[in-house]
Amino acid sequence: MSSVQNIQSKSKTLVMEDATIDIINLRLRTYIGFNPEEISKQQDIVINAQISYPAGNACSSDEATQALNYKTITKAMITHVEQGNFKLLEKLTADLLEITMASKLVTRAKVTVEKPHALRFADSVSLTLSAKRN
């Protein structure tokens, strides 16, 4: 226990960079595309997101109220995707990035949306967008 306290007391002299939360391979289904076969049936998509926020208070307090609630962000993503109808990966990805950046705690985010089986000889097609707070 004393080694943990020593580390914590030493860390007060360090400048902690933002923490990064990774949401990896969130698999959902939605209507995406503009070709007739894409409009009529839901398709698989895979979402990956990197979300940065200053986690110093959460690290020192060990209190959930001081941390970014990534479950809330993920639930908002799921609802948006499952209830949506999108023509372009660009629009869907931009919407998800906006959802991610909605929390004032988030300083930077990157969202990638993959559309498996979009091309005949490729595993998937993906689009990535990122944003940061000034």
Domains in the chain, number: 1
Asked if residue 112 belongs to a domain, the reply is yes
Name the pLDDT band for 10 (thresholds 50, 70, 90): low
Query: What residue numbers bound the domain in which 116 lies?
Result: 16-132
Judged against a pLDDT cut of 70, whether residue 96 lies above it is answered with yes
Asked if residue 52 belongs to a domain, the reply is yes
The two tokens of residue 130 are 């990122």
CATH number of the domain enclosing 49: 3.30.1130.10
Q: Quick one: pLDDT at residue 42? A: 93
Q: What is the pLDDT of residues 46-88, one digit of tens each?
A: 999 999 999 888 888 888 988 899 999 999 999 999 999 999 9
Q: Quick one: pLDDT at residue 5? A: 43
Q: Quick one: pLDDT at residue 12? A: 62
Angle at which helix 70-83 crosses helix 89-101, to 10 degrees, equals 150
The single residue listed with the structure tokens 């908002």 is: 76
What is the distance, to the nearest Å, from the Cα of residue 124 to the centroid of all Cα atoms in its chain?
19
